[in-house]
Structure formats: structure tokens, C-alpha cells
């Protein structure tokens, strides 16, 4: 009797834990099912089809690494689209961070109507990307667009933004700066998290505004810069809608100056129905994004600081 009673307690505890585990799995099952069906399966299928010749209408044929060999050795448009995307990312991400930090610093000041200005800078990000692109096509119209008119008032002959191959990518960079509202909000949250006693101590030591900005604000905002850098880099490598709408479907514009990487993937998948090659291009983009992200993470050890370290 004593032994049976002594075993009853552990059994009950084990049964309770099992029931809790089952209940937890059941509650999490919608998310788990979504992960498997909407993420894991498509990624696995893309990896498989990247080693095949597949046009959707016929069964896939295994061809090994031929798609990857074609991309790196025989496809000039692959290299061109990659170059265009890296050009866009290398300029738009730093500029976006610079403008976002500057505007966040201004919007963090005790200004009259500060809430109105914050809403104003955030609102463009609520407009759908297609509508934003159409608006910018009108603004950048070389004949009567507002941008070239304003340039004309100061004696500058505005370029043919979306028809001149030399100005297509700068035009897309300009479009990208229109949607920095969410980044500004994140920087504002980071600014408000900086301990105020650090500024008070710096003022006692005689630090001016620039010294406080470079020795307190920017170092303790570096973790926010790090986050926005990662997210901005990932987003810029996947730029698609602007080029698709402004260049007219998947044409890429004059001399393919607006042919970005994801647009080229779309062209192969839904215009040429070369789905196997499109999957290979997608896997290459994933690998490139992962590599760049890991490099930024590795470099963060030398330039990212946290407010807790300064307390």
C-alpha cells in the first residue's frame, strides 16, 4: 500500500504535464500548421525544383545543378539584375537610415504640432505600393512633372527620370525614401528609451549639442540602427513593385536599367514559365540575403551598444 501510494503522486504529475503538453500543442497547432503548409513546404519545394527543369505544364525533370551553372556562367541578365539590385540597396538603405535618424531627432524635439508632423511623415507608408509608384510616375514625368518643374525654377534642366537608363535607379531610390515612416517611428522609440540622466551628466560636464549627439545619442541608438539596417537591407534586396509598375510589367526599362532581381525571377517564372530556373534564382537570393545578414551581425560586435551597458 505504501509503495502504491508513493507512486501515485509522480504518476499524477506526469499525467498533468502530458495533458498540459497536449493542450499547448493543440493551441499552437494553427500556427504550426501554417508554418508547415505556408512556409516549410514552399521553401522545400523551391529547393527541389531549383534542381529541375519545370514549366508547370509538364512534370519536373531532374537536371542537377544546371540551373545554378546557367545563372553564374551563361546568363548575363542574372548578373545585370543582381548588379541593379545591389546598386539600389547600397544607396537606398544608407540614405533611408540617414534621413530617418535626422527626422526622428527633429520629431523628438518639443515642437508645436509635433503629433501632426509625426502622422504626416508616417502616412505615405500607409498608401499601397502600386498607388505610390503611380503618383511618383506623375511627379517624375519629364514633360510636366512637379519635380522637373521645381528644378526648372532654379535653372536646372530636369532629367528624363524613368526613360533615361542613367536616371532610372536614382528615381527608384527617390521613391524608396518616400516610405521611411515606419523606420522613423522605430527610431523615435529608440530615442525615447535613452536614459535622460546621461544628457544631464553631459550638460554638467559642459558638452554641447553635437557632443551629446555623437557621444550619447548615436552610440545608444546603434542597436536601433542595427535593426533597421537589417530590415532595410532585406527589403531593398526584394524590391519589385516599383519596377514592375513603372517599367511596364517585366520589361526592365531601357537597357534593362530597371530590371531588379525579383523582377527577373518573376519574368522567368510567369513570363517564360521556367519555374525551375526561377526557383534557383530565389534560392540564390536567399543565400545572398543570409550572407549579408550574417556579415552585418558579425560586424555589430564592434559598433552596436545598448542602453543597459551605459547604466
Give 74-129 pLDDT, tens digit per residue: 899 999 999 999 999 999 999 999 999 999 999 988 888 888 989 988 998 888 98
pLDDT at 308 over 70: no
If asked whether residues 15 and 123 sit together in one domain, one would say no
Q: Is residue 290 in a domain?
A: yes
Average model confidence (pLDDT) across the chain: 89
- The predicted pLDDT at position 197 comes to 87
Query: What is the three-class DSSP state of 52?
Result: strand
148 and 265: one domain? yes
Total domains, the chain: 2
Average pLDDT of the segment spanning 253-270: 92
Q: Across-strand partners of 61?
A: 53
Q: Is pLDDT above 90 for 233?
A: yes
Say if residue 281's pLDDT is above 90. yes
| Percentage of residues in the chain having pLDDT higher than 70 | 95
Instruction: Give the number of C-alpha atoms closer than 13 A to the C-alpha of residue 55, restricted to the C-beta side.
Output: 5
Q: What is the pLDDT of residue 7?
A: 54
194 found inside a domain: yes
Chain-centre distance for alpha carbon 111: 31
Looking at residue 113, its pLDDT comes to 84
Q: Is the pLDDT of residue 156 over 90?
A: no
Q: Containing H/E element for 53? A: strand 52-53
Q: Looking at the domain assignment, is residue 61 inside a domain?
A: no
Q: What is the reported pTM? A: 0.86
Q: Residues 21, 88: one domain? A: no
- Report if residue 159 sits inside a domain: yes
Give the residue with greater pLDDT, 78 vs 19. 78
Residues 43, 119: one domain? no
Instruction: Flag the least confident range among 212-216, 221-225, 233-237, 276-280.
Output: 212-216
CATH code, domain carrying 206: 1.10.3720.10
pLDDT at 98: 94
Supply the pLDDT for residue 247: 85
Query: DSSP class of residue 65?
Result: T
pLDDT of 2 strictly over 80: no
Same domain, 24 and 76: no
pLDDT of amino acid 240: 92
The residue range of the domain holding 213 is 68-310
Is there a domain that residue 11 lies in?
yes
Give the C-alpha separation, 47 to 133, whole Å: 32
Q: Write the DSSP assignment of 133-154 as a string of letters.
A: HHHHHHHT-TTT-HHHHHHHHT
The Cα–Cα gap between 18 and 39 comes to 28
Phi and psi of 61, rounded to 5°?
-115, 125
Q: Are residues 33 and 146 in the same domain?
A: no
Look-up: residue for cell 527577373? 264
Amino acid at each position: 500500500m505504501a509503495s502504491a501510494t508513493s507512486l501515485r503522486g509522480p504518476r499524477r504529475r506526469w499525467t498533468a504535464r502530458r495533458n498540459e503538453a497536449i493542450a499547448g500543442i493543440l493551441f499552437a497547432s494553427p500556427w504550426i500548421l501554417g508554418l508547415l503548409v505556408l512556409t516549410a513546404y514552399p521553401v522545400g519545394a523551391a529547393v527541389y525544383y531549383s534542381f529541375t527543369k519545370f514549366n508547370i505544364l509538364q512534370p519536373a525533370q531532374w537536371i542537377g545543378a544546371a540551373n545554378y551553372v546557367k545563372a553564374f556562367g551563361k546568363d548575363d541578365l542574372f548578373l545585370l539584375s543582381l548588379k541593379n539590385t545591389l546598386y539600389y540597396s547600397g544607396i537606398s538603405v544608407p540614405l533611408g537610415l540617414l534621413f530617418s535618424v535626422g527626422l526622428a531627432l527633429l520629431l523628438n524635439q518639443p515642437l508645436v504640432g509635433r503629433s501632426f508632423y509625426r502622422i504626416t511623415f508616417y502616412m505615405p507608408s500607409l498608401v499601397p505600393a502600386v498607388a505610390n509608384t503611380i503618383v511618383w510616375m506623375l511627379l517624375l514625368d519629364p514633360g510636366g512633372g512637379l519635380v522637373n518643374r521645381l528644378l526648372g525654377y532654379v535653372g536646372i534642366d530636369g532629367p528624363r527620370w524613368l526613360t533615361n537608363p542613367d536616371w532610372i535607379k536614382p528615381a527608384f531610390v527617390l521613391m524608396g525614401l518616400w516610405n521611411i515612416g515606419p523606420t522613423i517611428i522605430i527610431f523615435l522609440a529608440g530615442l525615447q528609451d535613452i536614459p535622460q540622466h546621461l544628457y544631464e551628466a553631459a550638460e554638467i560636464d559642459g558638452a554641447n549639442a553635437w557632443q551629446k549627439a555623437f557621444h550619447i545619442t548615436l552610440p545608444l541608438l546603434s542597436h536601433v540602427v542595427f535593426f533597421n539596417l537589417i530590415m532595410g537591407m532585406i527589403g531593398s534586396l526584394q524590391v519589385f513593385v516599383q519596377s514592375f509598375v513603372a517599367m511596364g510589367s517585366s520589361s526592365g526599362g531601357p537597357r534593362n536599367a530597371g530590371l531588379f532581381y525579383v523582377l527577373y525571377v518573376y519574368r522567368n517564372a510567369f513570363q517564360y514559365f521556367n519555374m525551375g530556373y526561377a526557383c534557383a534564382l530565389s534560392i540564390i537570393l536567399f543565400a545572398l540575403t543570409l550572407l549579408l545578414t550574417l556579415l552585418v551581425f558579425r560586424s555589430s560586435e564592434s559598433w552596436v551598444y545598448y542602453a543597459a551597458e551605459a547604466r
